[in-house]
Amino acid sequence: MDPSQLEGLPEEDKQKMLSMIENMQTKDSLRMYNSLVEKCFKDCVDSFRRKNLDSNEERCVTKCCEKFLKHSARVSVRFAELNAGAEALMQQQQKR
Amino acid sequence: FLEGGTALPRPDQEVLHKPRFLHTTQTQTQTMATPPNSNMSPAEKAKAFDMAQLEMEYRVDLYNAMTASCFAKCMDTRYKEGDLNVGENSCVDRCAAKYWQVTGIVGQMLGGMQQQQQQPR
């Protein structure tokens, strides 16, 4: 989150925005946790002959998480680029 | 998120997106209501906060949907490696770009439909 956008706001508004953002980040972290578990479970765990995960499944889950997190990071970089591009375009259009 | 800057957020930084503008397309610019500022009456300000909240949630949803879709489309689910290979990397980059374009087109179509509905016949 870019703190410079919150400049020029009175302090209480700033705090309100910051706490909104923090709330959303927490909510989103929890949502991501759940969805990642579901995804990796779906992709990696297929047999229920035993109660415990075997080593293949464990390895698969670990790699699934790693992969998803790296993928997520990459997407966030691209998303930021696309956003910045759209903003720049909009500012150009507004100047006309 | 850096405004117009050339630096990108580091991949391990949490990215939560600016609560300001909706998508631009080549021909149509959609903007949400202005962000809360000190020139507003309390009622206007409350509304502006609500809009800012909505827009932030929209951005987060967009990002999550993009991530999920591109993961499904680009990743090998056998999970042989914990790292992304070169092909997957390129796929993700292109997927993000295409997803963004689709969002723009859909935004345009929806905006056009709304306009049609609002026009008196």
Residue B39 has pLDDT above 80, yes or no: no
How far away is chain B from the Cα of A53, in angstroms, using its nearest Cα? Answer: 16
- In A, which residues are within 8 Å of B102 by CB distance? none
Counted across chains A and B, CB pairs separated by less than 8 A come out at 144
Residues 61-80 of chain B whose Cβ lies under 8 A from any Cβ of chain A? 63-64, 66-68, 70-71, 74-75, 77, 79-80
φ, ψ for residue B28 (rounded to 5)? -140, 135
Judge contact between B107 and B21, C-beta under 8 A. Answer: no
> Can you tell me the ipTM of this complex?
0.78
Which residues fall within 8 angstroms of residue B54, CB to CB, at 6 or more apart? B32
pLDDT of residue B26: 37
Q: Is the pTM of this model over 0.80?
A: no
Per-residue pLDDT of chain A (96 residues; tens, 9 = 90+): 455 567 777 888 888 889 989 999 999 999 999 999 999 999 999 988 988 999 999 999 999 999 999 999 999 999 999 999 988 988 898 887
pLDDT band at B80 (very low <50, low <70, confident <90, very high): very high
Residue owning tokens 């500012």: A91
Residue B62 has pLDDT above 90, yes or no: yes
Average confidence score pLDDT of chain B: 75
Residue B32 has pLDDT above 60, yes or no: no
Sign (positive or negative) of CA dihedral A15, A21, A26, A27: positive
Shortest CA distance from A62: residue in chain B: B82
Q: Report yes or no: A66 at the B interface, CB cutoff 8 Å.
A: yes
Are A80 and B9 in contact (CB < 8 Å)? yes
Burial code (b: 16+ CB inside 10 Å, e: under 16) for B46-77 equals eebbebbbebbeebbebbbebbbbbbeebbee
pLDDT of residue A61: 93
More confident residue, A40 or B39: A40
pLDDT of residue B8: 37
